[in-house]
């Protein structure tokens, strides 16, 4: 492959100084053009602008679509009831491509260009971790719906909150007793090889140990992997339970290949719904999951004992009894996570009203008001269930569901209590300067 | 699991990877060999094949095999048509200039990818395999469909080889590859050959995708890995060399399967990339490539 055609010969394509100057001038002109930046300070009657950092593209896109629908439904409900402190709420959406570097840029863009009041809505843990410093630098409150333990670990900063969904460490702690008692004592863990997976890697073994069970093998799989059979020989033969939590588009392949590998002679399976969010449980190849158990944040399938609030929430978001979009049974929701968007927006509403929030100059007051929140009662604003909030670690704690795959549906067989998932705080954000 | 069965599983997995990779890389290699175009959008033709396979197989009811066979015929044809159109609309107008076509195909990559996101959606969707036979070995089960992919790929590779070496079309393609201007002087419609080759290259990727989609689902970002691996294979094997492409695909596929099973997938990627670097340094034309004139 000699460079006959001068592919890499830069001298052939030198930019003349004039061209470069022209380009720069055009860029500067664009930046000064009206409508590009100049947003005036929020007036008292102007809408509250919520910057929505959305995974519209990239590996989080399936989640992103449902985060968008749920948030839009919540904003509509809030606005129909009079908005926040009498002001309408408006979502300003920027796509972060499920990419940490772009995530940080998006947060900066919200703070400096859109001048939104807060930033909200991020799911993927690596994006949250990548974006959090930008939120701290810009001193803009950043409400994530991510489930990872990074917020509660107090390793981020005072501007980052997770008030709408329980973190992984707490989820694991509350479910470990059930796993040890009902599924088996020898557990092999399969998890994605990045931040979110590490929460599972680090917190499951001690949680199971406390229940007299053991993690006998831990298998990390790169998040971009598309074929899994090659990892299965690492699963020890004496494994009683395979604990799987996977993310990304290849999860279906993962389950199918596990099925091909084991056939009917499989160990017990306990999975996190993350493995199958936005995937129809009746997809070909998933028969293998029949009889296995899953963690669910909020049940995908309507349950007989659903509260009125849960029913109203499902109707508002537009999902049917099977957890798919009304009118399109193939468009399956990410029910275990997206409720967090709805609940977080109501937490923002409560905190803003408590703080007497007027505009970006009150952001510090908003942070302090959020930190003062203690509990959220179950109801239309919190349809997933009651929660308590720890202002020191900026994290809420709620109930978790364990569901069994039965007849092509997920049936809740166990609900944990809030106390099951509480742990000692690892730090205190409130000691940090604002 | 003992070493023997473990190695067998690794080799089986590697073979499936090789089979799909060989077809995909062959398309890339053909396009470069004949047209001297580095087609960065090649992975997106792969993705398009998978997405169309999903659309076709869900549109056709009845036994999954009917939908699958229909997809195997129709999806590559449609992808070929798209490629043919793209060649006419973009590449021809750039006079196949190497630098411009790289940028143009990067543009095509994004356009196809975002169109798929818009019209197909962000989720991974499964296609039912034409048959689901599970081969039961004493140590583990293995998908019978996966083995049939290897067989299908081998047949297609032999067919492509026959077309290239035994038919008039193949002769014309080889002539164009050998010397474009002389071929033109002998009355070969070079532009039409180019359009055809670009379409065939995309179709090979699409066929590979239809074969793999019952194993790994259709997703709008699925074109990235095959593109990268195809480049690796093509560089190692030698651009434009069919034999080199097949040998390199088997080499990369098997080593990926075996190394990632016994050590780690990251190490497999590191070694593949290292091999590419070594080949570029010590044998820039690739293992089976001929030096450019």
Kindly state whether residues A276 and A193 are assigned to the same domain. yes
In a domain, A289, yes or no: yes
d(CA B200, CA B53): 17
- Cβ of A296: how many Cβ atoms within 10 Å? 22
List residues in chain A touching B: CB distance below 8 A.
1-2, 4-5, 7, 12-13, 57-59, 61-62, 64-65, 222, 224-227, 229-233, 237, 249-253, 256-257, 260-263, 278-279, 283-285, 330-332
Higher per-residue pLDDT: B179 or A118 = A118
**Do the Cβ atoms of B225 and A224 come within 8 Å?**
yes
Interface test with B, best of A260, A287, A324 (most B CBs within 10 A): A260
d(CA A138, CA A128): 15
- Chain A contact present for B260, CB below 8 A: yes
Q: Is the pLDDT of residue A241 over 80?
A: yes
Instruction: Average the pLDDT over each of A210-224, B101-115, B119-133, B183-197 and give the range with the smallest value.
Output: B119-133
Residues of B in contact with A256 (CB under 8 A): 126, 215
Residues of A in contact with B144 (CB under 8 A): none
In a domain, A18, yes or no: no
B103 min Cα distance to partner chain A (Å): 12
Per residue in A85-114, pLDDT (tens digit) is 999 999 999 999 999 999 999 999 999 999
Buried/exposed code over B81-94 (b: 16+ C-beta within 10 A; e: otherwise):
ebbbebbeebbeee
Kindly state whether residues A212 and A267 are assigned to the same domain. yes
A178, containing H or E segment? helix A168-178
Beta strands at A118-120 and A48-54: parallel, antiparallel or unpaired:
parallel
In a domain, A429, yes or no: no
Q: Is the pLDDT of residue A20 over 60?
A: no
d(CA B214, CA B12): 17
In a domain, A13, yes or no: no
Residue B80 is predicted with a pLDDT of 96
Which CA distances in Å does A45 have to A83, A413, B201?
Answer: 11, 48, 59
Kindly state whether residues A70 and A156 are assigned to the same domain. yes
Kindly state whether residues A119 and A196 are assigned to the same domain. no
Of A62, A253, A262, the CB nearest to B122: A62
Q: Residue B115's closest CA among B90, B87, B94, B86?
A: B86
Q: Residue B49's closest CA among B212, B289, B237, B240?
A: B212
**CB hemisphere CA count around B261 (13 angstroms):** 27
Residue A11 is predicted with a pLDDT of 45
Mean pLDDT along residues A3-22: 50
d(CA B66, CA B74): 12
Nearest residue in chain A measured CA to CA from B4:
A233
Q: Residue A270's closest CA among A255, A287, A248?
A: A255
Q: Is the pLDDT of residue B68 over 50?
A: yes
**Do the Cβ atoms of A57 and B117 come within 8 Å?**
yes
Kindly state whether residues A198 and A151 are assigned to the same domain. no
**What is the pTM for the complete model shown?**
0.81
Interface test with B, best of A224, A227, A283, A289 (most B CBs within 10 A): A227
Mean pLDDT along residues B267-275: 87
Kindly state whether residues A161 and A228 are assigned to the same domain. no
d(CA A310, CA B89): 53
Per residue in A268-317, pLDDT (tens digit) is 999 999 888 888 888 877 888 899 999 999 999 999 999 999 999 999 99
Interface test with B, best of A249, A261, A275 (most B CBs within 10 A): A249
**Do the Cβ atoms of A249 and B221 come within 8 Å?**
yes
Kindly state whether residues A299 and A262 are assigned to the same domain. yes
* Packing angle of the helix pair B190-212, B3-35 (nearest 10 deg): 160
Q: Is the pLDDT of residue A422 over 50?
A: yes
Mean per-residue pLDDT of chain A: 89
Residues of A in contact with B128 (CB under 8 A): 284
Q: If DSSP codes are grouped into helix, strand and coil, which group holds residue A388?
A: strand
**Do the Cβ atoms of B140 and A257 come within 8 Å?**
no
d(CA B99, CA A210): 62
Structural domain of residue A178, as residue ranges? Answer: 168-305+402-414
Kindly state whether residues A175 and A140 are assigned to the same domain. no
Kindly state whether residues A268 and A409 are assigned to the same domain. yes
Residue A37 is predicted with a pLDDT of 41
Residue A31 is predicted with a pLDDT of 46
Q: If DSSP codes are grouped into helix, strand and coil, which group holds residue A42?
A: coil
- Chain A contact present for B99, CB below 8 A: yes
In a domain, A10, yes or no: no
Which CA distances in Å does B63 have to B47, B50, B66, B67, B289?
Answer: 24, 19, 6, 7, 44
Beta strands at A241-244 and A186-192: parallel, antiparallel or unpaired:
parallel
pLDDT level of residue A138 (50, 70, 90 thresholds): very high
In a domain, A421, yes or no: no
Torsion sign over Cα A382, A384, A385, A388:
negative
Residue A233 is predicted with a pLDDT of 85
Residues of A in contact with B257 (CB under 8 A): 230
Q: Is the pLDDT of residue A13 over 70?
A: no
Structure tokens at A119: 């930033």
Q: Is the pLDDT of residue B202 over 50?
A: yes
Mean per-residue pLDDT of chain B: 90
pLDDT level of residue A4 (50, 70, 90 thresholds): low
Q: What is the largest CA-CA distance in chain A?
A: 74
Q: Residue B51's closest CA among B113, B98, B5?
A: B113
Q: Are A111 and A140 in contact (CB under 8 A)?
A: yes
Per residue in B46-65, pLDDT (tens digit) is 999 999 999 999 898 888 89
Of B16, B123, B292, the CB nearest to A4: B292
Residue A257 is predicted with a pLDDT of 87
**Do the Cβ atoms of B215 and A58 come within 8 Å?**
no
**Do the Cβ atoms of B13 and A263 come within 8 Å?**
no
Structure tokens at B95: 């006079």
Kindly state whether residues A271 and A408 are assigned to the same domain. yes
**Do the Cβ atoms of B1 and A237 come within 8 Å?**
yes
- Cβ of A243: how many Cβ atoms within 10 Å? 26
Q: Residue B125's closest CA among B227, B222, B46, B44?
A: B222
* Distance in angstroms between the alpha carbons of the first and the last residue of chain A: 58
d(CA A302, CA A291): 18
Which DSSP letter does residue A420 get? G
Of A64, A233, A284, the CB nearest to B122: A64
Q: Residue A420's closest CA among A89, A212, A202, A174?
A: A174
State the complex-level ipTM. Answer: 0.74
Q: Is the pLDDT of residue A249 over 80?
A: no
Which DSSP letter does residue A83 get? -
B141 min Cα distance to partner chain A (Å): 5
**Do the Cβ atoms of B140 and A285 come within 8 Å?**
no
Instruction: Average the pLDDT over each of A83-92, A180-189, B91-100, B136-145 and give the range with the smallest value.
Output: B136-145
The number of domains in chain A is: 2
Structure tokens at A412: 């809740």
Strand partners, A271: A244, A294
Residue A18 is predicted with a pLDDT of 58
Instruction: Average the pLDDT over each of A206-215, A219-228, B19-28 and give the range with the smallest value.
Output: A219-228
- Chain A contact present for B73, CB below 8 A: no
Q: Is the pLDDT of residue A26 over 80?
A: no
Per residue in B1-48, pLDDT (tens digit) is 678 888 888 889 899 999 999 999 999 999 988 888 899 999 999 999
Kindly state whether residues A158 and A185 are assigned to the same domain. no
Query: What residues contact A154, with CB distance under 8 A and at least 6 apart?
Result: A392, A393, A394, A425, A426, A427, A428, A429
**Do the Cβ atoms of A226 and B289 come within 8 Å?**
no
Q: Are A343 and A382 in contact (CB under 8 A)?
A: yes
d(CA B219, CA B223): 8
- Cβ of B78: how many Cβ atoms within 10 Å? 17
Interface test with A, best of B216, B232, B257, B282 (most A CBs within 10 A): B216
Kindly state whether residues A123 and A212 are assigned to the same domain. no
Residues of A in contact with B220 (CB under 8 A): 61
Mean pLDDT along residues B129-134: 86
Q: Are A93 and A54 in contact (CB under 8 A)?
A: yes
Query: What residues contact A187, with CB distance under 8 A and at least 6 apart?
Result: A179, A204, A208, A213, A214, A215, A216, A239, A240, A241, A242, A243, A270
- The residue assigned the tokens 């399109």 is A328
Which CATH number do you get for residue A154? 3.40.50.2300
d(CA A320, CA A312): 11
Q: If DSSP codes are grouped into helix, strand and coil, which group holds residue A34?
A: coil
Nearest residue in chain B measured CA to CA from A285:
B128
Q: Residue B245's closest CA among B232, B255, B257?
A: B232
The percentage of chain A sitting over the pLDDT mark of 70, rounded to a whole number, equals 89
Residue A40 is predicted with a pLDDT of 44
A309 min Cα distance to partner chain B (Å): 29
pLDDT level of residue A355 (50, 70, 90 thresholds): very high
Residue A186 burial (10 A CB sphere; 0-12, 13-18, 19+): middle
What domains sit in chain B, N to C, each tagged with a CATH number? 3-282 (1.10.3470)
Of B36, B98, B141, the CB nearest to A261: B141
């Amino acid at each position: 492959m000699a460079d006959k055609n001068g592919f890499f010969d830069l001298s052939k394509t030198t930019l003349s100084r004039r061209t470069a100057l022209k380009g720069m001038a055009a860029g500067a002109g664009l930046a000064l053009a009206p409508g590009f930046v100049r947003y005036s300070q929020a007036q008292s009657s102007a809408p509250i602008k919520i910057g929505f950092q959305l995974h519209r593209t990239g590996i989080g896109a399936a989640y992103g679509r449902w985060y968008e629908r749920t948030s839009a439904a919540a904003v509509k409900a809030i606005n129909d009831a009079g908005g926040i402190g009498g002001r309408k709420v408006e979502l300003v959406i920027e796509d972060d491509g499920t990419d940490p570097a772009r995530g940080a840029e998006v947060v900066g863009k919200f703070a400096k260009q859109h001048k939104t009041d807060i930033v909200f809505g991020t799911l993927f843990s690596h994006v949250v971790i990548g974006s959090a410093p930008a939120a701290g630098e810009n001193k803009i409150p950043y409400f994530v719906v991510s489930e990872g333990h990074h917020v509660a670990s107090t390793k981020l900063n005072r501007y980052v909150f997770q008030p709408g969904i329980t973190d992984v460490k707490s989820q694991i702690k509350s479910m470990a007793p059930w796993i040890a008692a009902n599924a088996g004592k020898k557990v092999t863990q399969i998890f994605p090889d990045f931040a979110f997976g590490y929460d599972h890697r680090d917190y499951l073994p001690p949680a199971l140990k406390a229940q007299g069970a053991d993690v006998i093998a831990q298998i990390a799989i790169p998040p971009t992997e598309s074929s899994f059979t090659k990892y299965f020989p690492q699963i020890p033969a004496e494994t009683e339970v395979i604990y799987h939590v996977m993310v990304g588009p290849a999860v279906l392949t993962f389950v199918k290949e596990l099925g091909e590998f084991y056939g009917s002679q499989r160990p017990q399976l306990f999975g996190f719904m993350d493995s199958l969010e936005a995937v129809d449980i009746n997809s070909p190849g998933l028969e293998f999951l029949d009889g296995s158990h899953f963690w669910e944040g909020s049940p995908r399938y309507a349950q007989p004992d659903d509260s009125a609030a849960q029913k109203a929430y499902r109707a508002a978001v537009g999902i049917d009894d099977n957890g798919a979009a009304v009118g399109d049974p193939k468009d399956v929701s990410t029910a275990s996570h997206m409720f967090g968007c709805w609940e977080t927006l109501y937490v923002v509403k409560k905190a803003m009203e408590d703080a007497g929030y007027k505009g970006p100059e009150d952001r510090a007051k908003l942070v302090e008001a959020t930190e003062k929140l203690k509990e959220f009662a179950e109801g239309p604003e919190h349809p997933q269930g009651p929660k308590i909030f720890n202002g020191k670690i900026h994290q809420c704690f709620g109930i978790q569901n364990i569901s069994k795959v039965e007849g092509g549906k997920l049936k809740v067989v166990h609900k944990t209590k809030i106390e099951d998932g509480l742990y000692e705080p690892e730090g205190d954000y409130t000691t940090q300067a604002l | 699991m003992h070493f023997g069965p473990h190695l067998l599983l690794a080799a089986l997995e590697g073979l499936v990877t090789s089979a799909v990779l060989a077809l995909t890389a062959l398309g890339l290699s053909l396009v470069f060999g004949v047209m001297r175009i580095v087609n960065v959008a090649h992975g997106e033709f792969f993705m398009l094949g998978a997405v169309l396979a999903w659309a076709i197989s869900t549109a056709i009811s009845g036994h999954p095999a009917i939908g699958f066979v229909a997809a195997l015929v129709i999806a590559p044809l449609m992808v070929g048509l798209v490629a043919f159109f793209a060649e006419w609309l973009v590449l021809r107008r750039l006079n196949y200039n190497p630098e411009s076509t790289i940028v143009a195909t990067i543009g095509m990559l994004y356009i196809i990818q975002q169109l798929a996101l818009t019209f197909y959606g962000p989720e991974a969707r499964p296609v039912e395999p034409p048959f689901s036979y599970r081969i039961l070995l004493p140590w583990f089960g293995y998908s019978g469909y996966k083995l049939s992919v290897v067989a299908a790929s081998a047949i297609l590779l032999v067919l492509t080889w026959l077309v290239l070496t035994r038919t008039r079309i193949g002769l014309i393609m080889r002539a164009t590859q050998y010397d474009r201007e002389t071929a033109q002087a002998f009355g070969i419609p070079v532009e039409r050959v180019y359009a055809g080759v670009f379409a065939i290259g995309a179709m090979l990727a699409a066929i590979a995708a239809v074969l793999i989609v019952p194993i790994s689902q259709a997703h709008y970002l699925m074109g990235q890995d095959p593109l990268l691996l195809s480049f690796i294979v093509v560089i190692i094997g030698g651009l434009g060399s069919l034999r080199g492409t097949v040998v390199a695909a088997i080499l990369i596929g098997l080593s990926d399967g075996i190394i990632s099973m016994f050590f780690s997938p990251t190490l497999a990627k590191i070694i593949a990339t290292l091999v590419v670097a070594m080949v570029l340094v010590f044998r820039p034309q690739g293992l089976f490539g001929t030096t450019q004139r």
